[in-house]
Amino acid sequence: MNKHKTHLIQTKLKEIMAKQRMIVTDDQLLIDMDLLFNSIRDADGDWEKVEQDMKNYLSAIQSMVGEE
């Protein structure tokens, strides 16, 4: 993953987590339903894109934690 994309993911995660809408564990994202459905609406109903985005967020977090 390139540095720019990683930075964008980190920024988005900070925004989300500041609102207490997402909890991250080692292998899961626990997501507020409003956040999830709004993300699907923002993607014009493309739930597969949102699913991939969520998987990318989790991978980014796992790689950041692995770097520590």
Residue pLDDT, tens place only, 6-65? 777 777 767 766 666 777 777 788 888 888 898 899 999 999 999 998 888 888 888 877
Joined together, the tokens standing for residue 4 give 């720019």
Residues 6+ apart with CB under 8 A from 64: 10
pTM, full prediction: 0.62
pLDDT of residue 44: 95
29 near 54, Cβ under 8 Å? yes
Residues 6+ apart with CB under 8 A from 57: 9, 12, 13, 29
